[in-house]
């Protein structure tokens, strides 16, 4: 299929989405369940470029475009259905070392959401393919293809200011069929990918069970915790608490804790703790974070969760996601500032990772810019992320530029 035909295919999908207009109301019949649904979606154009130091390394750049179309039916006897179709196409690429194979180089389409949802009073059941965002189970949306999961949840909010969720995640949909992440070794990733969007791959032999709790009953205090168990592989626990002081500068103090229990006797259990502080001075958010992983050099890393969105540590970054913070005996700290000016969001971060292994220390600089249009161009957002990586071994130094133009309807 040539470029024009691909663009027309995306255009037809979007027109179909606009035609499926409705209100998401309670339906009086099965047919009304579908006519009273809601449609939404997006058009995307992403350009990523990377440079690498060191002999024999080639720079990389890629432009992809695509989007998504989502449809959710109205409610019929408290039941609703949802589906979300994603497409990604490669417009141009110069990537001799295949640096984008596991993240951006996806050419095709995938049905990422197809779920049934039932809600009665304060209890909700949701099962099937769906986007998930929890501390230990989260899909990334930073590339053209948004990661998804096949999962089944039951949630309840009967207790005041409290949400309790229990569930089972069976499969993990990656960005491309060449995605492969060593810290999610238990996922049955594709070994012979051809460059299409990722499929839904088994999470271990029997999936991952989880329980999640969030509570805001104490004024200015938010607490959340999650337990997750990848059967016969690893179990993890995560908890954090954030207190916002009720004073002018809006200072806050937050703390977090990870604990990992490996099933393999050869892998020692491990932990990570972190603290974060911040305040707002004249409209500028200033913050500082610190994390420390337990164990000694060579020990098993801390389990961060499943999915490339599961980076909740206080030293997360743009390019590397701060993955190095989970390595045994690694200390990391981050200093940052953020400000919004006339629709432009600006954030600057400096993060330092002190890894005990030789030549493994990293300093990462991130500049993130996001502008949301209004008026006639409402729905458009444009963003640019620029990162500089400086390693103790300077032959690994690199830069990373990510630009995105998105129209959401």
pLDDT tens track for 246-264? 999 999 999 999 999 999 9
Q: How far apart are CA 6 and CA 117, in angstroms?
A: 33
Sole residue written with tokens 């919004």: 340
pLDDT at position 101 is 98
Find the angle CA(77)-CA(82)-CA(84) to the nearest 5 degrees.
175
Q: Which residues have a Cβ under 8 Å from the Cβ of 399 and sit 6 or more positions away? A: 50, 51, 386, 387, 388, 389
- Model pLDDT, residue 8: 33
Return the structure tokens found at 395. Answer: 């032959």
Give the list of residues 6+ apart from residue 198 with CB closer than 8 angstroms, or none: 106, 110, 145, 147, 173, 174, 175, 176, 177, 179, 190
Place of tokens 């491309």: 176
**Residue ranges in the chain whose pLDDT is less than 70:** 1-25
Maximal CA-CA distance, the chain: 68
Q: How many separate domains does the chain show?
A: 1
Task: Record the tokens describing residue 310, joined without a space.
Answer: 């599961």
Which single residue is written with the structure tokens 């109301």? Answer: 25
pLDDT of 25:
65
169 in Cβ contact with 132 (< 8 Å): yes
Rounded Cα distance, 401 and 54, in Å: 19
Q: How far is Cα 262 from Cα 232, in angstroms, rounded to an integer?
A: 9
User: What is the rounded distance in angstroms from the CA atom of residue 288 to the CA atom of residue 351?
Assistant: 10
Would you say 196 and 108 are in contact if contact means Cβ atoms under 8 Å apart? yes
SS3 314: coil
The distance in angstroms from the start CA to the end CA of the chain is 27
User: What confidence score (pLDDT) does residue 26 get?
Assistant: 86
Give CA–CA dist 308/323, Å, rounded. Answer: 10
pTM for the model stands at: 0.92
Q: What is the CATH number of the domain that holds 371?
A: 2.40.160.10
SS3 9: helix
What residue has token string 């030293």?
315
CA–CA separation, 348 and 350 (whole Å): 7
Which residue segment(s) compose the domain that 114 sits in?
3-408
Instruction: Report CA dihedral (88, 93, 96, 102) to the nearest 10 degrees.
Output: -20
């Amino acid at each position: 299929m040539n470029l024009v035909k691909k663009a027309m295919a995306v255009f037809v999908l979007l027109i179909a989405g606009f035609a499926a207009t409705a209100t998401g109301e309670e339906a009086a019949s099965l047919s009304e369940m579908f006519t009273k649904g809601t449609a939404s979606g997006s058009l995307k154009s992403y350009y990523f470029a990377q440079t690498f130091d060191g002999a024999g390394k080639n720079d990389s750049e890629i432009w992809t475009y695509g989007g998504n179309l989502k449809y959710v039916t109205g409610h019929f006897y408290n039941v609703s259905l949802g589906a979300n179709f994603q497409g990604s196409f490669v417009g141009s690429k110069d990537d001799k070392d295949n640096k984008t194979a596991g993240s951006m180089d996806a050419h095709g389409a995938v049905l990422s959401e197809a779920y049934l949802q039932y809600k009665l009073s304060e209890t909700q059941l949701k099962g099937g393919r769906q986007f998930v965002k929890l501390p230990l189970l989260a899909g990334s949306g930073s590339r053209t293809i948004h990661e998804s999961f096949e999962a089944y949840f039951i949630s309840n909010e009967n207790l005041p200011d409290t949400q309790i969720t229990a569930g089972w995640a069976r499969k993990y949909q990656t960005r491309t069929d060449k995605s492969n992440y060593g810290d999610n070794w238990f996922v049955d990733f594709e070994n012979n990918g051809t460059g299409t969007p990722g499929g839904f791959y088994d999470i271990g032999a029997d999936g991952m069970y989880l329980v999640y709790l969030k509570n805001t009953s104490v004024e200015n205090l938010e607490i959340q915790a999650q337990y997750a168990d990848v059967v016969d592989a690893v179990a993890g626990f995560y908890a954090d608490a954030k207190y916002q002081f009720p004073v002018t500068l809006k200072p806050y103090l937050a703390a977090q804790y990870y604990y990992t229990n490996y099933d393999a006797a050869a892998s020692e259990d491990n932990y990570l703790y972190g603290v974060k502080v911040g305040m707002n001075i004249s409209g500028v958010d200033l913050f500082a974070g610190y994390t420390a992983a337990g164990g000694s050099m060579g020990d098993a890393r801390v389990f961060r969760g499943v999915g490339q969105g599961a980076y909740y540590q206080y030293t997360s970054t743009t390019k590397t996601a701060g993955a190095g913070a989970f390595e045994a005996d690694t200390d990391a700290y981050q200093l940052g500032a953020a400000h919004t000016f006339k629709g432009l969001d600006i954030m600057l971060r400096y993060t330092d990772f002190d890894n005990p292994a030789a030549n493994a220390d990293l300093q990462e600089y991130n500049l993130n810019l996001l502008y949301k249009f209004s008026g006639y161009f409402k729905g458009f957002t444009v963003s640019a992320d620029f990162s500089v990586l400086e390693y103790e071994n300077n032959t690994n130094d690199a830069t990373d530029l990510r630009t995105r133009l998105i129209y959401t309807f």
